[in-house]
Amino acid sequence: MKVKIDVECSPEEGRTFLGLPDVAPMQQEMMTELQGKLAKAAKAMNPENMMKPLFPAGAEGLVDMQKTFWSALSGADMSEKTQ
C-alpha cells in the first residue's frame, strides 16, 4: 500500500506550520556583516602579496616553470642546453 500526500505551501508557511523560527532577519544581518568584512578585506588587498604564496620565486620561478613545461612537451632535456 502506498500513501502519497502532496502539500503545497511556501517555505514561510512550512516553517510556521512545523513551528520553526523565522531566521530571515538573522540571515540578513549576517549577510550585511559579511559584505562589510569582504569589502574591507578587498580594499586592503595588495595583488603582489596575494601572488607571493603562489609564486615564491618570483619571475625566475615562472621562467623555470616554463622551461620545464616546454621540455616535457617537446620530450627534450632542457637542463643540458642551459649548462
Domain housing 58: 51-75
The answer to the question of residue 22 being in a domain is yes
- Dihedral sign, Cα of residue 30, residue 12, residue 20, residue 16: positive
Cell of 13: 508557511
- Residue-wise pLDDT for 18-46, tens only, equals 999 988 899 999 999 999 988 887 787 77
**Model's pTM, two decimal places?**
0.42
- Residue-wise pLDDT for 44-71, tens only, equals 777 777 667 766 666 666 777 788 888 8
Domain count along the chain: 2
Co-location of 19 and 39 in the same domain = yes
Task: Give the integer Cα–Cα distance in Å for 35 and 46.
Answer: 19
Strand, helix or coil for residue 12:
helix
Backbone angles phi and psi of 66, in degrees to 5: -65, -40
Co-location of 36 and 61 in the same domain = no
